[in-house]
Chain A
Amino acid sequence: MRTLKILLTSALVKGLVGQAVGWALGYSFVALLRALRGLPTPWLYEPAVAFGAIISLLGFLVAAGVLADWLRWIVGKKTELKHGAPAGQPGWARYINVDTNHKVIGVQYAITSILLLLVGGYFAIVFRIELAQPGMQWLTNDEFNTLFSAHGIVMIAGILLGVGAMVNYLVPLMIGAPDMAFPRLNAFSYWVTIPSAVIILMGMAVGGWDTGWVGYATLSLKAPLGVVLFLLGFWMNGFSSIASSLNMLVTVTTMRAKGMTLFRMPIVVWGSIAASIIQLTATQTVGVALTLTVAERVLGLNFFDPVGGGDPILYQHLFWFYSHPVVYVFVLPGLGVIAELLPVFARKPLFGYRWVALSSLGIALVGFLVWAHHMFTSGMDDALRVPFMFSTMLVAVPTGVKFFSWVATMWEGKLPKNPPTPLLFVFGAISIFLIGGVTGPILGTIPTDLHLHDSYWIVGHFHATMFGGYIFPFFAALYYWYPKVTGRMYKESLGKLHFWLMLPAFWVMSIGQMSVGLLGMRRRVADYDPALGITTTHILITLAALVIGWSVLIMIYNFIASARTEPAADTNPWGSRSPEWQIPSPIPEFNYVTPIEVVGEPYDYGLAGSVYTRTIAPAPSGD
């Protein structure tokens, strides 16, 4: 009963109610304006739905209390940051209320991310079952289109939240800061993602859409109503990206502990900086692309429809200027996790630390110069093709730096004979990111791309880069930092089961996708010709997708069960040098009770007498 009361009065529930109220108000406002002009408003009238969606975001934020402190500042009141659970409520209530502690927000991001990955993965399994056989079995074409489109955007939102989880939880700890530079903005960044996810999912309820996650004009101008909610939800997620990346860059600049020079920061921090630079800037251009599309649909402005003189290629340029670099946002923190974990388990210094650190920035900067390689077949200016082919190949250089560093770090290292789960996931990530990487130049080369464009080969390549660069490192991070977050060890046997189900299933899925692509399978179609001879492979891909889905459920069970039943874990079970492992688990509210000082290199594992951080003895109190 008490639990129910805490749930119902939580910021989450209040926000969702506020969102519904906001939506109704926005919708009625437009209907009222029309009524004043003597016009009827049909049910699900598009401008009213769109305006309602924008007001619903405000409704959520106001009702959940995310803006409370800022609204008080406007009328000149000073507010203190609140710490801990709401008065008189148990500790878990923090996670469903607005909290400004970066560790709480990190866990909120992680849970929301896993939920979204489950939803997006469920969509994938539903349409994969349809694809197991040629012909149409249990979905209509429209349902199929909506499902693969929603799979794309929900997974991307889930991945962005997972990046937020890693960055928020780890970066302040790793640089020795008590919290992020702007704790309230940090809470805002998290809470804005909930209403935007709701809006995207509502898009499926009001008719779906068939544009894929790219939302190309002019298809998006003719798609059903759902596309407007998809575009708006995507757009609102951008607030989260921009605010959290700004916060992260400021935190790293101004909040580092004494002695934490740039080249003593862990690689995860470097990866987060590089990812944040991309998010801070490129998100704005996709925001413009989405805004202009909504304006063209709802307000009748003309940008992309050639009938009024518009240019559909312009949408693709604006879209890919963000959406290519954003895949580096997904992978850079993950690649940082690989570089963080390998030296811990190999008991050896990270090979070429400075090169690895700078390669993160290198990937981010080159990432801004390659977007048009998605558009070789779009009909853009031919003169753009070759420069973009060469810049695309250039990405392999900083990525190669990372690969060689990982291999050289493992070389003659003291890797454990029976690797624990995080290390297994790191190995899995490296092997999969390798196949994802080497299938890329084939797509970046114009002649082969013209053949493979829009085929299942792309699907295979993209899923390999995402699983290798994000999913596997993210799971490695979850297992690795689980004892630090909860104070308990996860069940090693279940972790290993998860890995040994997921890795082979992923290989079957990825190789299968690439092979059917080479044999002529188009992507984003619900049906295929049995004469292609790819039915068996399609069945295997579907089965592999199911195995991956089940294995992730095992992980979730493992985490929930272990938090209740397992005994307390050691403070530093992996023998890491990083400062967050030198303080108790779970970590105290303000991280370092006694401030730390950095006196050595981060990854000098196995070198006698080397020290990374030490605590500063507290100065004698004056009062």
Chain B
Amino acid sequence: MSTITAKTSHDDVHAPEIPYATQLRSNRLGLWLFLFSELFLFGALFTTRFVLWGNTRPPLSQEIGLLATVILLFSSFFMYRSETAIAYGDQPKFLNNALLAALMGAIFFVMVVVMEWNVFRLSGELFGIELFGHLKPGDGVYGGVFYAMTGMHALHVLSGIVFILIIWWNGRRGAFTPERHWGVEAIAIYWHYVDVVWVFFYPALYLMGKVV
């Protein structure tokens, strides 16, 4: 192998410049291929639900599920406003909306982990609605599938929140311009994608089939 490297002194040869437009095209395609790949991850979990649960579902709090879903879907709206704002150069609107989207994502995450999963083993009621779930991970296939699907989705929500905070932090220091804001665009697409996954997971977990 020493022969390869003997000749790699290339003072006169520079790395070919990849134009920004080409790199952007590559980035976009790469992101969409990644999302296409993730489709099979979520698809496999979705299939698992129908194989193991069939036409049944566990008893879950309809109110919490609906509220969490509404909050997550609205967060996508603010992420969209954020991306549009940076495209028009409105820096404060971009930052505020990004933060709002992350905050709503965080509320969704807390509702899943603290309320549905009830990791802190709390109990309580508000307006006669029970706030904390009863389904345990060990409750047969109902626990297994519920925790696997919500867990995998919550992991994506969590990573999305982290990504939004990264673009927010960099955005405050002027890292994005109307012409060059691939980071914002990528996170926005990822965030919408995670929302759309929930649009399929929510009915599969909360609405379809008979309660056992």
Contact = CB atoms under 8 A, between A and B. Distances in A.
Interface in B1-46: 1-10, 13-16, 22, 25-26, 29-30, 33-34, 36-41, 43-45
Interface in B123-175: 137-138, 140-141, 143-145, 147-148, 166, 169-170, 173, 175
A246 B34 contact: yes
A528 to B, nearest CB: 37
A280 B4 contact: no
Contact of B148 (A178, A251, A284, A301): A301
Given A285-B44, A309-B52, A310-B52, A299 B137 contact: yes
Interface residues of B, number: 48
A589 B29 CA distance: 26
Interface string A73-97: 0101000010111000011101100
A588 B26 CA distance: 24
B48 interface: yes
Given A288-B41, A314-B52, A308 B140 contact: yes
Contact of A292 (B7, B8, B148, B173): B148
A287 interface: yes
Contact of A486 (B4, B41, B43, B173): B4
A282 interface: yes
Nearest to B183: A73
Interface residues of A, number: 61
Contacts, number: 159
Nearest to A487: B3
Nearest to B45: A288
A389 interface: no
A250 B33 contact: yes
B153 to A, nearest CB: 13
Interface string B162-203: 000010011001010000000000000000000000000000
A316 B6 CA distance: 51
A295 B148 contact: yes
Contacts of A288: 41, 44-45, 48
A303 to B, nearest CB: 5
A303 B5 contact: no
A318 B7 CA distance: 48
Q: Is the interface of B mostly helix, strand, loop or mixed?
A: helix
A154 B14 CA distance: 40
Contact of A488 (B3, B39, B170): B3
Given A91-B2, A292-B148, A487-B3, A182 B140 contact: no
Contacts of B138: 300-302
B26 A250 contact: yes
A198 interface: no
A131 to B, nearest CB: 37
Contact of B37 (A242, A295, A308, A588): A242
A586 interface: yes
A90 B4 CA distance: 11
B122 interface: no
Nearest to A279: B37
Contacts of B34: 242, 246
A590 interface: yes
Contacts of A317: 51
B37 A254 contact: no
A181 B30 CA distance: 9
Contacts of B25: 254
A92 B2 contact: yes
Nearest to A314: B51
Contacts of A107: 1, 4
A563 interface: yes
Interface in A176-216: 178, 181-182
Contacts of A94: 5
A291 B2 CA distance: 42
Nearest to A85: B5
Given A76-B173, A92-B5, A303-B48, A593 B13 contact: yes
Given A280-B33, A303-B52, A563 B2 contact: yes
B55 to A, nearest CB: 14
> Which of B1, B15, B26 is the most central at the interface, judged by chain A CB atoms within 10 Å of its CB?
B1
Given A246-B33, A282-B40, A314 B48 contact: yes
A363 interface: no
A142 B25 CA distance: 52
A249 B6 CA distance: 32
A250 B26 CA distance: 6
Given A310-B52, A590-B15, A301 B4 contact: no
In the A-B complex, list the 5 residue pairs whose CB atoms are closest, starting with the nearest: A91-B5, A284-B40, A301-B144, A288-B44, A284-B41
Interface of A: 74, 76, 81, 83-85, 90-92, 94-95, 103, 107, 178, 181-182, 242, 246-247, 249-251, 253-255, 280-285, 287-289, 291-292, 295-296, 299-303, 308-311, 314, 317-318, 321, 485-488, 563, 586, 588-590, 593
5 contacts: A91-B8, A92-B2, A300-B137, A588-B10, A589-B10
